Structure 1
Amino acid sequence: MPTVTSAPELSKGFAALSAALNLDPHLRRWSAGTAANLLELHAPPAQWSPPAPFEWIDGSRLKDVDLPAGTLGRLREGLRRTWIRSVITWTNSVKGPPDPKDAPWTHAGWHADFQTWIDDSLRLSGVDPQGVAIPVQQWGLSVVFHQRSSRGDYFAKATMPLEPDAATGSSEVRLCQNLALRAPAFLPLITAVRPETGWMLMEDAGGTPLRQCDGSSWESGVRALAALQHRTVGQGLEGCADRRPRELSRRLQEIEDQVRDTPHLSDVERRELLRLMPSFRDVLQSLQDGPVPSSVVHGDFHAGNVRILPDRSVSILDWAYGAVGHPFMDVWTLINRRSPAERDHLRLIYLEQWKDCGPVDKLLDDMLMAQVAGSLSQALTHIMIRRAVGPADRLDFATLPERWCKRALAAWTELDHHHRTRPKCRPGRDSGGLSLASE
């Protein structure tokens, strides 16, 4: 596997160290522009000792080691963020076989098999691979590689082969295959898939990440989302988790249990979330009874997963959290960091394609309620993921359920404010609708 680091001056050193120790390099996680970069070596047998002149040192002795300028700070920061993960991975691989829940790409030999599949898939398509695939991003649920070829760039993605309802409850490969049939214009072109291992090879979508684009491109992004969702209304989408309001309500107790037990919420946040659980259930019931039908939801529709192509069309990436649910749940993830005026404008743009479902005031109510539902959906998903992944990857998800519970609180605050300032839109239990007053 190629050596990858965000500090280019260390690359040759990593490669030399790997060769000197006769150990295979292994990328645990790499993310450009952050300090969360770690290269590990596959652990040797327990009785192994490093050959001369190498020796083991602990962190307290790093200050005495002659390193290039700036390296010590990088090492200290990297160690601070990743030492627990390193210890877990090293200990597990020394003690015996890998944990069956660990991601496959953490196992020796996996990268060679993946590269062979990439090369064979390209050649079957009449394309010659050029060089080896370079890892772009990796974490507990997936790894993405960039592969050059005689016909341009490709991206290969491997996802955790999780059983339905074991974690996200979905298979990204199967979902993307289905979406490619129903709405091919909104996804990168898929070259090859291997569903049993969660492998997928795609042409480079190209374009510019939405986060780098102007306001009109954001309008294109929400319109594309609405158009794709319209095409999946009433469709049975294999590979999708069930995140419809009725299912979320049925499983709300799992979120409540997490809120009660977690150390990652303040006492104030915990009390407020527990107090609002009946109101959350009312929100979900109101969405279930509402006029907007279920469709595919992306689950992580942020501006980094949306590409604006040169012809102004839109490509949507990374369907790892894809599900069937209330379509409006996706919008908040995209617009939550925009100004209040921009959020209102983008909501109206999105709702243009749903106007057949009812008046705008009612749809805006539903959208604000869907922000609460979407946050609860993400909290549930990450609770399930944390149960499903191995100990070395569990750190990636250590506080994500709680983060989404906090976002549910923020979404509730906006919903409550909306109804307090627009009383004409405020339904109540006595009228058969939703009461926003907490009990």
Structure 2
Amino acid sequence: MRDDVAWTVDRGRYEDAVTPWEQESWRTAALAWVADGLAAHGLRAAGPLEVRLRPWSVLARVPVAGRPAVWFKANPPASGFEGALTAALARWVPRHVLAPLAVDADRGWSLLPDGGALFRDVLERQAVGPEAWEGLLRQYAEMQRALVSHTQEIEDLGVPDARPARLPVMFDELVAGNSALRPADRSRLERLRPRLRDWCAELAALGVPDSLDHADLHDGQLFHPEPGRYTFFDWGDATVSHPFCSLHVTARRAAERYGPGVMARLRDAYLEPWTDDGRTAAELRRAVDLAWRLSVLGRARAWGGLFPATPGTPGSASLSEHSAGSLLELLDEPPFSPHPAGHP
């Protein structure tokens, strides 16, 4: 694939963000790597690229002769593990994820096949009820359980450690490093720290083993190629964490579509695969409440994973505000049910 191949560029709301795509030498190397990756599978590009540039990724849709398009993705250093993680997941839990066509772990590049219908598009085309979200959460929980034995291998790939024991330190780093927090909000968060430490200790004591947390699992981050089957992708925000942290984003997105009454139903569907380890329903639900609140730290961290040239631009300022907003969600009560006396 030559550097003079045609392409269109979508920058979304981040017109001022700087990515490696602007560097001719980087772009030439990336296009050559894509061509080699396609050739290794007997494929070739056929048509202009559609390039999406964001402060946290370069994503290009590459039309391919005789089959669906493939996708090139480049991650910044903070999420450069994504290609290697995607390849490892394809070995460990192939039923649940995409198998990459090529990965360059050192450069944070990956080449991915088409995954079928995006769940978001299915929701727009069809009348889909909450039961579909229940199914995807059960499947996702089954995948997390299968990955428990691989947590150290996942961390060795560079996936950040966000286990409960690590979260108080992460909290301190995020609060200290966020310039968008107003003084009053910073004070509120600093006063919360003793309770946060207690929440982390209680969550760890409940004994659910750590696993992989996608950290941003919504309807645009999974495919629904056929009834009853879901394929999870886009692992750039992932952490090694308490698995129940994953529920927050998914359940909130479903509640936006069906109303808050769906929350408890989705929680219980997600917990079904975790009920055979001897823990009571009350213990699992308590763990969900704690993980729900603490999961916002993973979201706050993810907003800082930008390409090195991006900080200081107008676009990055809005990302700091998003991170601050996530931190302030620590002050919100979990949505499922009233807490008994003595609990937050």
Which TM bucket (shorter chain)?
0.7 to 0.9
Q: Kindly indicate whether residue 201 of structure 2 is the aligned counterpart of residue 220 of structure 1.
A: no
Cα deviation digits, residues 220-264 of structure 1 (max 9, x gap): 2211210110111031212321111111123332133246xx3x3
Q: What is the match of residue 189 of structure 2?
A: 273
**Cα RMSD for the two superposed structures:** 2.6
**1:234 aligns to what?**
149
CA contact (8 A) 2:86 2:99 kept: no
Q: 1:206 aligns with which of 116, 134, 150?
A: 116
- Paired AA for residue 366 in structure 1: A
Report what 1:354 is aligned to. Answer: 274
Within a 5 Å distance, the mapping from 1:315-394 to structure 2 comes to 315-337=231-253, 338=255, 339-357=259-277, 358-383=279-304, 385=305, 389-391=308-310
Residues 100-141 of structure 1, C-alpha deviations (whole Å, 9 max, x = no match): xx6422312332322222122111111232134321x22122
Q: d(CA) in 2 for partners of 1:188 and 1:380?
A: 25
CA contact (8 A) 2:165 2:200 kept: yes
Matched, 1:154 2:135: no
Runs of 4+ in 1 over 6 A off after TM superposition: none
User: TM-score scaled to structure 1, two decimals?
Assistant: 0.68
The reply on whether 1:297 has 2:213 as its aligned counterpart is yes
Residues 274-312 of structure 1, C-alpha deviations (whole Å, 9 max, x = no match): 221211111111112222100011121122102211243
TM-superposed deviation, 1:397? 3.7
- 1:195 and 2:105 matched: yes
Task: Determine the C-alpha separation between the residues in 1 that align with 2:230 and 2:141.
Answer: 12
Partner in structure 2 of residue 2 of structure 1: 6
For the structure 1 residues 422 and 359, does the alpha-carbon distance in structure 2 shift closer, same or farther, using more than 3 Å as the test? same
**Equivalent AA in structure 2 for residue 134 of structure 1:** E
Residues 193 and 199 in structure 1, CA contact (< 8 A), matched pair in contact too: yes
Aligned sequence identity (%): 25
**Deviation per CA, 1:175-226, whole angstroms, max 9, x where unpaired?**
1111111111222231111112111111100113247522222112211210
- Asked if 1:288 is matched to 2:204, the reply is yes
Q: Which has the greater radius of gyration?
A: 1
Partner of 2:325: 406
Task: Report the residue type matching 2:249 in the other structure.
Answer: T
TM-score (norm 2): 0.85
Offset at residue 417 of structure 1 (A): 8.5
In structure 1, the residue matched to 2:172 is: 253
Match of 1:121 among 20, 23, 37: 37
CA distance 1:394–1:290, shift in 2 (3 Å): farther
Equivalent residue of 1:177, what SS?
helix
Residue 15 of structure 1: aligned partner? none
CA distance in 2, matches of 1:381, 1:148: 30
**What is the aligned residue count?**
325
Contact 1:189 1:205 in 2 (8 A): no
Partners in 2 of 1:416 and 1:307 — Cα distance?
A: 27
Structure 1 unmatched ranges of 5 or more: 5-26, 37-80, 87-101, 429-434
- Residue 102 of structure 2 aligns with an amino acid whose one-letter code is A
User: Which is bigger in relative contact order (C-alpha 8 A, separation at least 6)?
Assistant: 2
> Partners in 2 of 1:178 and 1:254 — Cα distance?
29
* Consecutive unaligned residues in structure 2, runs of 5 or more: none
Q: Which moved more, 1:110-119 or 1:289-298?
A: 110-119
Contact 1:129–1:147 (Cα < 8 Å) also in 2: yes
The one-letter amino acid of 1:245's match is: P
- Answer whether contact 2:100 2:112 (CA < 8 A) is retained: yes
Q: 1:256–1:416: structure 2 CA closer, same or farther, 3 Å change rule?
A: farther
Match for residue 415 of structure 1?
Answer: 334
- For the residue of structure 2 that corresponds to 1:129, the secondary structure is coil
| Deviation of 1:402 (Å) | 4.5
Alignment of 1:105-184 (within 5 A): 105-135=21-51, 137-149=52-64, 150-160=66-76, 162=77, 167-168=78-79, 171-184=81-94
